[in-house]
Amino acid sequence: MRHLIAAVDKLAAARTALIGDFILDRYVYGDVERINPEAPVPVLRTVRDESRVGGTGNVAAALGALGAQVACFGVIGADDAGGDLIALLDAAGADTAGLLRLAGRPTPVKTRYVGLAQHRNAQQMLRVDDETVEPAPPEVRERLRASLKAALADVDVVVLADYNKGVLTDALTPRLIADAVGAGKVVVVDPACIADYGRYRGATVIKPNRFEAALAGGVEITDEATLEAAAGKLVEITGAAAAVITLDREGAYVYVAESGGRRIPHQCPRAVYEVSGAGDETLAVLAAALAAGCGYDQAVELANVAGGIEVERFGFVPVSRAELVAELRRMIGLREDKVVGRRQLAEACARRRSAGETLVFTNGCFDLLHMGHVRYLQQARRLGSCLTVAINSDDSVRRLKGPGRPVIGAGERAEMLAALECVDYVTVFDEDTPEPLLALLKPDVLAKGGSTGEIVGQGYVESCGGKVVKLELVDGLSTTDIINKILSNHGGA
């Protein structure tokens, strides 16, 4: 794994051109608390909604999260959804100048209705698609080809992510590939679920999943021999240098025309939350790694790890280079640090909220950690799926408690809290109150001890749709009581 860690930084050097079907994904979240009396269907009470990139846009966002440069080429509508999609891609760091906006052609939109069971666990209930799959007009295809061709001098790899929505047609795709190969570029294709891969002829790498490979190769995949047969057939059909067949929890199979194939397994089992977007994440890392000079095996190993992270999330949430490194470090036994600064904490919480998690926040001095604190934090963690503990800095504690406090420095207090399994993140704040942190993180739940009087930030959290929960401190002496007890046992020294 150490050789993979060293390779991750190279991903940011990749310059990519990305063409395909850009889609706007909308999510409507709500609580499901009853069944409709008019029909046996759940009633979704809307809590919030959000928009994300989808389709080929997932690959753009994933490349951006890796630090790679990505220029997007495709066809979307001259409508509000198209404007929202471009704004999201711009925010992800993508160059959207190559997206053609057409009047009369709607931007593809997929709206997912998501129920939150017990206010915590996100579960997709229904998806509604608003799209057209008609091929783009010939003059539009020529404009798209000319635009991509003009960009080839400034990229290392051309990525085709085909959702079969009318952009990568049988007529246009071979020309795009020929232009890129003629310019000496690596061409990586994530094919549509179609039986005929003739449109991808000339590509460098073809990356179907197991089902797609079996369909296009005409081979039922059941073991290593049939994997090799299917991959070999795909290489024969497309003339590709290599085929990478993704195998879900079983990893991937790499077949190189010159040397045959081998399976590259996942290094550890995964708890699969949702497979949506895993293929896009795998494609992005594979393309970036190849563009950065990695060999096929190393590129697929990195892509496997990134895809494994993705399936543990709800919806598509891009994997950053930092997350990739942290996962690789974890896989070789190096612990990810839970004690984080404000910026890193904000990024982590935003990522986990996007994954459908419920964020819980609590704060305090936590000087002389004791069993009452531990039981309180365990209760707080059960209110959601991610617990952040914010502790006062030493200067902040002195201003609040007096010159004799804290007894334990902030660094040691943070490290002890981070050692608790129920705590996900610990951060130190220097202000007298945690209000700036609350404004930054916008937690779903603010937890406080039952002995607390006025709860700082309660109004703000509730105004943002969160809730405040007061928990009873179980068998817990106050820190002052403990200090006095220690001093009395040592004669007041």
Residues noted as catalytic: 280
Answer whether the bond into residue 406 is a cis peptide, omega within 30°: yes
What's at 182, amino acid-wise? G
Three-state secondary-structure class, residue 429: strand
> How big is the chain, counted in residues?
493
CA nearest 5: which of 407, 277, 301?
Answer: 301
CA nearest 298: which of 328, 257, 330?
Answer: 328
Which run of H or E residues covers position 23? strand 22-35
10 Å CB burial of residue 279 (0-12, 13-18, 19+) is: buried
Buried b (16+ CB within 10 A) or exposed e, 173-187: bbbbbebbbeeebbb
Q: How many CB atoms lie within 10 A of CB 24?
A: 28
Q: What is the largest CA-CA distance in the chain?
A: 91
Pairing of β 121-130 and β 109-117: antiparallel
**Gap between the Cα atoms of 246 and 282, Å rounded:** 9
- 172-179 contacts: CB < 8 A, separation 24 or more? 172/136, 172/141, 172/144, 172/145, 173/199, 173/200, 174/199, 174/200, 174/201, 174/202, 175/145, 176/19, 176/145, 176/148, 177/201, 177/202, 177/203, 178/202, 179/145, 179/148, 179/149, 179/152
Question: Is the alpha carbon torsion for 202, 203, 207, 209 positive or negative?
Answer: negative
Three-state secondary-structure class, residue 146: helix
Distance of CA 61 to the CA centre of its chain: 9
Q: How many CB atoms lie within 10 A of CB 336?
A: 12
CA nearest 158: which of 188, 199, 198, 178?
Answer: 188
**Gap between the Cα atoms of 26 and 112, Å rounded:** 6
Task: To the nearest 10°, report the CA torsion of 344, 350, 352, 358.
Answer: 120
**Gap between the Cα atoms of 286 and 283, Å rounded:** 5
Q: How many CB atoms lie within 10 A of CB 458?
A: 16
**Gap between the Cα atoms of 30 and 396, Å rounded:** 39
